[in-house]
Amino acid sequence: GTPLANGNGSTRTLSPARKTSLETPAIIQTPEDMFVAFLAQLGPPTKSLVYTLKQLLDELPFETRHNTKWKFLAWTGRDVRVAVDDDFRDNLQSAIDLYRSSRKEALQSLYTSRALSAASTSQHGGKSTSFTGQKSKPNGSPAKPGNDRAGGASEEIIADIEEVSACCGHFSFALLDFAEDMLSYLRRLEELKEAIQHRKRTWTWLFSWFWPEDEHESKDTAKIRRRGDFNNHDEAYDAGQGIPSHIKQADNFADPARRDRSWNARLYRLLCVFRRDDIKFAVKVGLGALIYALPAFLAATRPFFVRWRGEWGLVSYMAVCSMTVGGSNTTSTNRVIGTFIGAALSIVAWVLASDHGYTNPWLLGFFGWLVSLGCFYLIVAKNNGPMGRFILLTYNLGALYSYSLSIKDDDHDDDEGGIDPAIWDIVMHRLVAVIAGCVWAIVVTRFIWPISARRKLKKGLCVLWLRMGLIWRRDPLAMFLLGEPRSNYMDIREESALRSFLSNLEGLRKAANGEFELRGPFPDQTLGRILERSGRMLDAFHAMNVVIVKNLQYTPGEAAVLRYTRSERFELSARISHLFSVLASSVKMEYPLNDVMPSIDHTRDRLLARISEFRRSGEGREVATEQDYELLYAYVLVTGQLSEDIRAVSAELQTMFGTLDEEKLKLQ
């Protein structure tokens, strides 16, 4: 076998079969052969570039000075220096140049291989001996016989070949893009090193408020605009030719200028602040605290409130109240259990450390260290912060409060023992106050404007999918034809806001697990998998967004290929938008999905076949370079990932809503 170096510097032997599989095939007959040939040709420069990047990442960005004189300046940060060598950028630039040229040659060989010729023959005559494989439909049924079968197989063969080209082109470009960003990172580090070595002292930072940031400039840079800069760009042609009406009308669907056309609509939007959950939560928690603290202000009930430490019940009430019912249930359970455990530990520690008013502080301190050790283990290792905090808090309110009473000279706390504290009374008062505060918090959050985490999660999931569907309702690449969308709802560059919203849904899922309903237990695992798949969809959105905003100006070649494939892209984006709407409707109505869902795969195959046709005979193919296909490569791969994730979410929804609830279908 052939020895290969691995990560730890040793070598491993490659088996003869594995070695043969990585060699360039003598005759390229299948898409697999195309992929292996591409890897064999681009493999050595890829290894060189990856090794160079690894060496740089191991060294950067800083290193510690080992000279003894710098240890005294560690608090100023001068014991470290920027680890940038003069040869770093030259080595990386050489590796990038080698990789770029090899990638161009490998892609050119890929496009001119026999596989593309065989695909062309298969497309024109349906007779090809190179690609004999046949796909089946997503539901497992074979393709139709006769001419339709031959035509479908031909289109799928072309799609397979073009998808291999898309994978090779996109992921090789991703490595090149990362290396170029690494080169920019080195330039910034060199600038930082220069600034540190020639540091200028100034006092202008004290008056930074006199030079505020330019708001217009920050707004312009926040949303990057992409415009073409080639001479023969005809915007009227782009905006009018070949664009379906539903794409042209997509902006009007979410036009913010149409929302406030009547006075009642403006009044409704003005009063919507009182429908916000945070406003309702603040009002009801404030009213609950007012009612709970009312006995402290009445002369008849004040002694009872003070004796049973009602202030600690009020603190517990404020700590337990959460936005949702499930959050309050979970926090109150942890609060009560933690209070019981902390009370028991404080009694044990006080009984062992005290003797009729005399307390051994060293023994009590040792017990406190043991309790804090266990509590921080719960907080850090077991990720159960509320339980650990409440145990430690109750222990402090019991044992340490008793010790503070015992060392006082006066005796003004007769209700709890004074200088000889009655630990049982102290713990009992705290325990009753905490339980009363937790019960009152549950009553307030459950019966006064209750906010259900289950309902918020269901609504939030629907809104998330509808927002994702709106982005695809207006094709993400349509900004090259129609400009920027009027509404942020239809802009793929808002995917970071969707990611933040998904994090909120994860918190709601944890809170919803603490809500109890007679309909049955909360499907925590199923919804967890659905949210995980939604996160993968947003990862695909992010990949698409990175490619869009990376190059701020598009070329004539990009414009040509986008014009040539616009109808297939619009059809594919409409299908994806429709599927997101179907998923949201199923969750909203709690209704099982149809047995036959629309498929993305066939529409995607037509787009891939259209790209292949553009390479052979498309208008403008002469000006299109291999980099001009990067947008469509990312588009194709993202839609493939979305297709897989949508099918997985559909299966989860079918499991969750597979049994039809007849109560929801009654005509009443």
Nearest-CA neighbor of 151 among 617, 604, 606?
A: 606
Q: Are 567 and 242 in contact (CB under 8 A)?
A: yes
pLDDT band at 358 (very low <50, low <70, confident <90, very high): confident
Is residue 661, in this structure, part of any structural domain at all? yes
- pLDDT for position 195: 79
- Name the average pLDDT for the chain: 77
Q: What is the dihedral of CA 41, 45, 46, 50, to 10 degrees?
A: 170
Q: Are residues 329 and 432 in the same domain?
A: yes
Last residue of a domain, one of 430, 447, 464: 447
Specify the pTM: 0.74
Give the containing element (helix H, strand E) for 124: helix 114-125
473-487 residue pLDDT tens: 878 887 765 666 555
Of 12-21, 223-232, 250-259, 381-390, least confident by mean pLDDT is 223-232
Q: Are residues 313 and 355 in the same domain?
A: yes
pLDDT band at 151 (very low <50, low <70, confident <90, very high): low
Higher pLDDT, 26 or 234: 26
> Residue 290 pLDDT > 90, yes or no?
yes
> Residue 219 pLDDT > 50, yes or no?
no
Q: Are residues 310 and 432 in the same domain?
A: yes
Last residue of a domain, one of 155, 182, 199: 199
pLDDT band at 8 (very low <50, low <70, confident <90, very high): very low
- pLDDT for position 51: 92
Q: Are 258 and 493 in contact (CB under 8 A)?
A: no
Is residue 271, in this structure, part of any structural domain at all? no
Q: Are 420 and 406 in contact (CB under 8 A)?
A: yes
> Residue 29 pLDDT > 70, yes or no?
no
> Residue 191 pLDDT > 70, yes or no?
yes
pLDDT band at 550 (very low <50, low <70, confident <90, very high): confident
How far is residue 480's CA from residue 548's CA, in Å, rounded to a whole number? 10
Q: Are residues 491 and 471 in the same domain?
A: yes
In this prediction, residues 481-510 reach a mean pLDDT of: 76
How far is residue 43's CA from residue 568's CA, in Å, rounded to a whole number? 34
In this prediction, residues 634-652 reach a mean pLDDT of: 91
In this prediction, residues 333-340 reach a mean pLDDT of: 91
Q: Are residues 404 and 372 in the same domain?
A: yes
How far is residue 501's CA from residue 348's CA, in Å, rounded to a whole number? 46
Nearest-CA neighbor of 497 among 538, 448, 447?
A: 538
Is residue 4, in this structure, part of any structural domain at all? no
Q: Are residues 180 and 251 in the same domain?
A: no
Q: Are residues 439 and 469 in the same domain?
A: no
Q: Which residue has the tokens 């490595």?
A: 175
Domain hosting 590: range is: 235-258+456-665
DSSP characters for 395-449?
HIIIIIHHHHHHT-SS---GGGTTTS--HHHHHHHHHHHHHHHHHHHHHHHHHSS
Nearest-CA neighbor of 153 among 137, 138, 170, 175?
A: 137
In this prediction, residues 203-224 reach a mean pLDDT of: 53
Q: Are residues 167 and 25 in the same domain?
A: yes
Read off the DSSP letter of residue 295. Answer: G
Q: What is the dihedral of CA 598, 601, 602, 606, to 10 degrees?
A: 130
- pLDDT for position 154: 67
575-611 residue pLDDT tens: 999 999 999 998 988 887 766 678 888 889 889 888 8
Q: Are residues 412 and 506 in the same domain?
A: no
pLDDT > 90: what percent of the chain?
A: 22
Is residue 209, in this structure, part of any structural domain at all? no
Is residue 64 classed as helix, strand or coil in its secondary structure?
strand
Total number of domains constituting the chain: 3
64 - beta bridge partners? 80
Neighbours of 399 (CB within 10 A): 30
Q: Rg of the chain's alpha carbons, rounded to an integer?
A: 34
